[in-house]
Amino acid sequence: MWIAADNDLEKYVSQDLEEMKENPSWIEVFAMVDYASASDTLYRVESDLVPLETFNEIDSGDPEALSSFLKEYRGNDLSFLVIWNHGDWWRGEAQVKTKGVAYDVKNSDFLSVKEIKNVLKNSPVTVLGFDACLMGTFEILWELKDCAKYIVTSSREIPAEGWNYTALKKASDLSSLLYGIVQKYHESYGESVSLSVWDTSKLDDIMYWLNRISQYMREKDLSPWDFVVERRTVENVPTELIELGSFAEALYGSSDDTLRYYGEKLHGAIVSARIYGTPEGYRDLLIYLPENMKNPEYWDDFSALSDFITDSFWDDLISYWRDRD
């Protein structure tokens, strides 16, 4: 557990640590907690909290600190890294307001998607989880697909109380743990929130059909802005993110037989890659499509995504329509 609580979420740490107690013998929990008002502490979570070490101050937005923690405490056979904090997807590598996860107010730092990838790419974990808002974008999954076998994310805002970690208590293996995390989340918050477990080995199919769609739309001079899709809002303010499943479904209504076929294939690939999720039937996967194709601040942002911009034609399609009426 990488608990970046040097911010306004500090008061929720104790509840989550309490939920992690009394986990089964096959699960060892180590939690590095960066507090705002107390000494930062590394715990082993058993029937009680066992402090292993205290620190005057760690920077939970420093990838080197995360790397050192993982080298010392990750499991040999199975490893599950949860990054706990505010999340704000990937956009903004070239902007003043860069977006990422694990915000450390005291150090004015955070972890970018690129930094997380650099920490994990040579020593991937079994599961990478984000107990943080808006990290469920296809771009993030694609950038981190070689960093974990499974990635747990939400495309929506996550309540301040976060995941329900009592799921650890009844887990008998990895599959039941992943399923339990999703189910406990649903039990805690109902249908107004979302959480999904993604099989990274199946992301290639999503990329394949997204690329077929992007190439075809460019060849036929078709704009992605012409389709009615679900746009993600945060506190009733629209973001630059759309629900990728809703885009696939919008293609069903096209008069173009090829687009209809591609849309069905894209939708099926998303369903296949999402092995557990709440709400059931919801796709819970976002992708970047700015509201305004003429706004210049959007166009440098793909520099945050080295793998995605290499492998995807989606950014090429967006750039093709830049500044056009």
Q: pLDDT digits over 54-109, tens only?
A: 999 999 999 999 999 999 998 888 999 999 988 777 655 444 455 678 888 888 88
Q: Which residue bears the tokens 């329509």?
A: 321
Average pLDDT, the chain: 91
In this structure, the number of other CB atoms found within 10 A of the CB of residue 208 comes to 13
Q: Which residue bears the tokens 């009733």?
A: 236
pLDDT of the residue at 68: 95
Question: What is the three-class DSSP state of 142?
Answer: helix
Q: pLDDT digits over 120-171, tens only?
A: 999 999 999 999 999 999 999 999 999 999 999 999 999 999 999 999 999 9
CA distances from 99 to 12, 31, 130, 317 (A): 22, 24, 14, 23
Task: Let me know the angle formed at the C-alpha of 225 by 155 and 304, rounded to the nearest 5 degrees.
Answer: 50
The per-type count for the chain, helices as H runs and strands as E runs, is 10, 14
Task: Let me know the angle formed at the C-alpha of 312 by 247 and 193, rounded to the nearest 5 degrees.
Answer: 40
pLDDT of the residue at 96: 44
Does position 298 have pLDDT exceeding 90, yes or no?
Answer: no
Give the confidence band of 240 by pLDDT, cuts at 50, 70, 90.
confident
Q: pLDDT digits over 12-44, tens only?
A: 999 999 999 999 999 999 999 999 999 999 999
Q: Which amino acid is at 258?
A: T
Give the confidence band of 210 by pLDDT, cuts at 50, 70, 90.
very high
Give CA–CA dist 302/31, Å, rounded: 33
**Tokens, residue 289:** 């499509």
Burial of 225 (0-12, 13-18, 19+ CB in 10 A): middle
pLDDT of the residue at 94: 45
pLDDT of the residue at 77: 86
pLDDT of the residue at 32: 96
More confident residue, 206 or 9: 206
Q: Which residue bears the tokens 């166009």?
A: 299
